[in-house]
Amino acid sequence: MPMHSTIKSVNWHITPRCNYRCRFCFAQNFHDGTVPYDKGLEILEILADAGMTKINFAGGEPLLHPGILDYCRESKKLGMTVSITTNGSKLNPSKIRKMAGIVDWIGLSIDSSLDTVEAELGRGTGNHVSNCLESAIYLHQAGIKLKVNTCVTALTFQENMIPLIRMLNPDRWKVLQMMHIDGENDFARDLEISAGDFRYFVERHRNVLLENGTSPVFESADDMESSYFMLTPGGFVKSDAGRKVTLYPLDEVIEKGIDNFVSEMKYQERGAIYEWS
């Protein structure tokens, strides 16, 4: 029997493929390929049996995975809340309509209010913000909840993102300090910011109140380390303890207890569990 813990959500980086080249991305250098579809279904069942009630499909760019909507549908059948974190470039009204009813949340990664800055970060080629604004309209119309994920870097920590957030009107806004992971985003060390720089951004945005009455969620690099339950495309559990990558077989993690690989205390303290259903 799986050993259950207070950790109830999992991030599966379902594919290493991506059409963007975000310089600071820590989800790089995956050394395992994507699993066959049937194996993926087995992984979903293992996660549900282990007590996961929310799954977030990430990447790479998860919308490049040909079976992504099938995985979402099967996850819903297993009783999980389903989320996709995407750069938004593959979203369109037709795809969003297909997601309605099987995808509960879409997380759009938006790190700057300026398309020129996003392009400099490697997120698109100059129309990322405008694309996300358009997609937000269709997501709201389809009844899919919108989360905005913002990674704060040396290029953006002095920005005021409040006007853009007002236009996007998300149900949740998560603000993350750029995190360096050995061997993954070493080439982006120039984008790192200090704890003080991150606090500067936080203080400028701390009093933002979203239309649903919630406040932004701020996560420093220290908050994030060892506080996420993550799977690689091949279904291995990925640990970032010590800011370096270590992989463990999923079966081993479930047998020994997820809390031996992910800090339950830090998971709870960063507000990982919220009203996601």
243-254 pLDDT, tens digit per residue, is: 888 899 999 999
pLDDT tens for each residue of 30-77: 778 899 999 999 999 999 999 999 999 999 999 999 999 999 999 999
Helix (H, G, I), strand (E, B) or coil at 155: coil
Quote the pLDDT of residue 3. 52
231 beta partners: 12, 237
pLDDT tens for each residue of 100-140: 999 999 999 999 999 999 999 999 999 999 999 999 999 99
Express as a percent the part of the chain with pLDDT over 70. 97
Q: Which residues contact 102 (CB under 8 A, 6 or more apart)?
A: 69, 72, 73, 76, 82
The CA angle 30-2-103, to the nearest 5 degrees, is: 60
Quote the pLDDT of residue 5. 78
Mean pLDDT of the chain: 93
Quote the pLDDT of residue 106. 98
Kindly report whether the global pTM for this prediction surpasses the value 0.85.
yes
Q: What whole-number distance in Å separates Cα of residue 145 and Cα of residue 30?
A: 29
Q: What whole-number distance in Å separates Cα of residue 251 and Cα of residue 261?
A: 12
* DSSP sequence for 20-63: ---TT-SS----S-PPPHHHHHHHHHHHHHTT--EEEEESS-GG
List, in order of start, the domains of the chain with CATH numbers. Answer: 9-270 (3.20.20.70)
pLDDT tens for each residue of 207-241: 999 999 999 999 998 999 999 999 999 999 998 88
Report yes or no: 83 and 107 within 8 Å, Cβ to Cβ: yes
Q: What whole-number distance in Å separates Cα of residue 128 and Cα of residue 110?
A: 8
* DSSP sequence for 83-133: EEEE-STT--HHHHHHHTTT--EEEEE---S-HHHHHHHTSSSS-HHHHHH
Helix (H) / strand (E) element for 135: namely helix 128-142
β-pair type (237-239, 230-231): antiparallel
Helix (H) / strand (E) element for 13: namely strand 9-13
- Residue bearing tokens 């479930």: 254
